[in-house]
Amino acid sequence: MPEPLLRVQDLSVSFPNQNGLVRAVRGVNYEVHEGEFLGIVGESGSGKSVSSMAVMGLLPSSAQIEGSITYRGESLLHKSDRELSDLRGREISMIFQDPLSALTPVYTIGQQIEEALTLHNKNVSADALHKRAVELLKIVGIPGAERRVKAFPHEFSGGMRQRAMIAIAMANDPQLIIADEPTTALDVTIQAQILEVLQKAKEVTDAAVVLITHDLGVVAGNVDRVAVMYAGKLVEKGDVDEVFAQPRMPYTMGLLRSVPNMLTAGKDRLVPLEGRPPSPAALPKGCPFADRCPAAIDICHQEEPELLGFEDVPGRTAACHRAGEIAAGTLTSADIFPRPEYVPHAIEDSDALAPIVEAEGLVRHFPLMKGSVFRRQVGAVKAVDGVDFEIRPGQTLGLVGESGSGKSTTALEIMELVKPQAGRLVVDGTDVSTLTAKQRLAMRRDVQIVFQDPMAALDPRMPVGELIAEPLTVQGVPKAERHRKVRELLERVGLYASMADRYPHEFSGGQRQRIGIARALITEPKLLVLDEPVSALDVSVQAGVINLLEDLRDELGLSYLFVAHDLAIVREISDYIAVMYLGRIVEYGPVKDVFEHPKHPYTRALMSAVPVPDPATERSRQRILLQGDLPSPTETITGCNFASRCPLRPLLSDEQQSRCRTDDPAGVSHGASRVACHYADEISRLDNVDTSNLVTGAQ
């Protein structure tokens, strides 16, 4: 084997605190060869980002680093900051998780690209720097690069800012690019674009890439080798196909069985990975995963296993005392993490019952004002622009779409229980426009919400028992009854009744979300509005919360409005799906029909962008990459509001394209679904066309 580009040996990173040292990274070993794509995965706090910052020399001076990091055979740990600065950007570049905080707000995007070039190319003219900056923005897919090069970071969307970060990272043709969670905060369509750009950057610069992420679907479709981290150590390494097909460490098995797969969702239940990782400041004796591992035996609690190889597969390693049994097939994923059974349904024939919620032509526009003294309206933000849907008892409606499509505003319209600006909203058979203040307060018992960020939704100064009981306090329920219900609900959502006296900061993210669910259930509602309830959680925790929500729905006959951007989770939990784009529902129907036979080009694009945790499937899937970003909801658009980004439109005749530009499509029935597209019957034309290179009006 040739000398690796990057070699990390016995890397350990510790941070001092009042009780001693916190060991964030413990004896990590890996290599990256030229042109290779390595993925490093693991839950939050596993040490992924700390190890990459150590490679870049960006850790604080208080960090204590041991071991060896060599780049092209030269030690990086013994270089001065000036020497490392000469390497950063020229030989090794990094793409950070949050591009808004990584970009300087007072300089234009072009100036920041030119700065990266100037640091390593002293004698380049200003004209050449400008041309190179424009060229780089074009390479990463920024539309109107000549104009956008003069824009400031706040004028870019999240996806465009991340593309600009990639342009800066590849400016000097580095040989190693480290991407630290580059797609975490992005919509699935933008995520697909960014991963495509990252692959293009790898090809243009011929660089090796280290991708740090918690998303196993992203890893499956992009990397050559994968390394799994847990509690500061690598616990499994190997070829991506082998690791996904036959994991040999129970932690890897648990991660893979907890990830929803859009292609198979709904057929098998997710398997939650119970518990949470140990604190780096108080690691247990033996294997750090033993307390969460159903296959743990006595030696697991006494000795920490080493990362050892296997004779049958060169380059494959795992840190588990029972790895031999797993490799031999006598201990399987199904043995260690059996799938939980579905619970009986409280409501058998939901479709025969009257809807809990009916929305017809629902509208919510926000005025756009101008002037400080004499204020006047100069436009409107069309957040929700005429939507129709219904939710029946015991059913879940999944509301999906990109950020800014109007999903959360639609959910909040239901929560307000007031007369809509236009249209009609009926909750539990009552038109909300007819409610008195007293009736509205009483109806709030029947409609509750679970928010996206459980920590922000819970008052840190109150114990969780009081937080859960608060809705009953508003309704005037006696104290004894409140206490009884709190204890009962804590047990129902998988917590202990004794935890009622603890405060929110004493719980993990998944536990806090369970507290939020208990608070929503305390009034025995008929409808729960779930606004991105698992997007802030690790994938291992997501599975437990999703299973809990499914069990509660089926046991109690609840109805859910499930707002999300992750279509794999939506398919897992939903009965019906509504796809929103720019304030409107463009496709609506039963989950099975919409996922198996999508009729709207936007739905097709969303589904093609969702990563699947299967390397073979990911490599064979066709991507439909949307060009540009979501238009502003303040724009007045004649015709179809998706026309400027539609991958189907360039395949239509001039006459058909003209209709798209001038005639706004209404929802039309196609089988069991309703689709707002003039040419839904033409959707099959996307099947055999490379849509990633189609140019639409957005450019």
Provide mean pLDDT across the span 315-339.
93
Does 578 share its domain with 478?
yes
Residue 322, in any domain of the structure: no
Does 610 share its domain with 517?
no
Residue 646, in any domain of the structure: yes
In whole angstroms, what is the distance from residue 508 CA to residue 528 CA? 23
- Please give the pLDDT value at position 685: 82
In whole angstroms, what is the distance from residue 440 CA to residue 430 CA? 11
Place 121 in a pLDDT band, splitting at 50, 70 and 90. confident
pLDDT tens per residue across span 134-193: 999 988 878 788 988 999 998 887 778 888 998 999 899 899 999 988 887 677 877 888
Choosing from 568, 592, 616, the residue where a domain stops is 592
Residue 387, in any domain of the structure: yes
Cα 549 to chain centroid distance, Å, stands at 19
Q: Which of 89, 58, 98, 255 is nearest to 183 (CA)?
A: 98
Does 383 share its domain with 508?
yes
Q: Check if the beta carbon of residue 350 is closer than 8 Å to that of residue 395.
A: yes
Residue ranges making up the domain that contains 659: 598-694
**CA-to-CA dists, residue 219 to 135, 159, 235, 398, angstroms:** 29, 19, 16, 26
Positive or negative CA dihedral for 43, 49, 54, 58?
negative
pLDDT tens per residue across span 635-681: 888 899 999 889 998 899 999 999 999 999 999 999 899 999 999 98
In whole angstroms, what is the distance from residue 682 CA to residue 214 CA? 37
| 6-17/176-180 β-pairing | unpaired
In whole angstroms, what is the distance from residue 447 CA to residue 520 CA? 9
Positive or negative CA dihedral for 306, 307, 310, 314?
negative
Does 464 share its domain with 513?
yes
Does 544 share its domain with 626?
no
In whole angstroms, what is the distance from residue 8 CA to residue 12 CA? 10
For the ranges 30-39, 495-504, 553-562, the lowest mean pLDDT is seen at: 495-504
- DSSP structure string for 551-571: HHHHHHT-EEEEE-S-HHHHH
Choosing from 558, 592, 626, the residue where a domain stops is 592
Does 623 share its domain with 579?
no
**Strand arrangement, sheet containing 37-41:** 92-95, 176-180, 208-213, 37-41, 225-230, 233-239, 317-318, 308-309
Residue ranges with strand state E in 428-489: 430-431, 447-450
Residue 300, in any domain of the structure: no
The predicted model scores a pTM of: 0.86
Count of domains forming the chain: 2
Q: Check if the beta carbon of residue 482 is closer than 8 Å to that of residue 473.
A: yes
Tokens of 324: 């031999």
Q: Which of 624, 629, 626 is nearest to 686 (CA)?
A: 624
Residue 479, in any domain of the structure: yes
Tokens of 293: 């591992």
Give the number of other Cβ atoms within 10 Å of residue 511's Cβ: 22
Does 410 share its domain with 468?
yes
Residue 615, in any domain of the structure: yes
Does 635 share its domain with 578?
no
Does 540 share its domain with 649?
no
- DSSP conformational letter for 5: S
Tokens of 555: 């046991």
Does 431 share its domain with 529?
yes
Helices (DSSP H) in 522-596: which residue ranges?
Answer: 539-556, 567-573, 591-596
Burial degree of 445 (CB within 10 A; 0-12, 13-18, 19+): middle
What CATH number should be reported for the domain holding residue 571? 3.40.50.300
Residue 335 predicted with pLDDT over 70:
yes
| pLDDT cut 90: percent of the chain above it | 51
For the ranges 370-379, 471-480, 612-621, the lowest mean pLDDT is seen at: 370-379
Does 492 share its domain with 583?
yes
Does 587 share its domain with 445?
yes
Place 698 in a pLDDT band, splitting at 50, 70 and 90. very low
Residue 148, in any domain of the structure: no
**CA-to-CA dists, residue 169 to 34, 93, 174, 576, 622, angstroms:** 17, 5, 8, 42, 27
Q: Which of 640, 568, 190, 578 is nearest to 406 (CA)?
A: 578
> What's the alpha-carbon Rg for the chain, to the nearest Å?
27
Cα 560 to chain centroid distance, Å, stands at 21
- Please give the pLDDT value at position 697: 39
Residue 435, in any domain of the structure: yes
Choosing from 530, 563, 592, the residue where a domain stops is 592
Provide mean pLDDT across the span 337-345.
87
Residue position matching structure tokens 């690598």: 234
Q: Check if the beta carbon of residue 114 is closer than 8 Å to that of residue 129.
A: yes
Question: Considering the chain, what is the average pLDDT of its residues?
Answer: 89
Tokens of 256: 């893979």
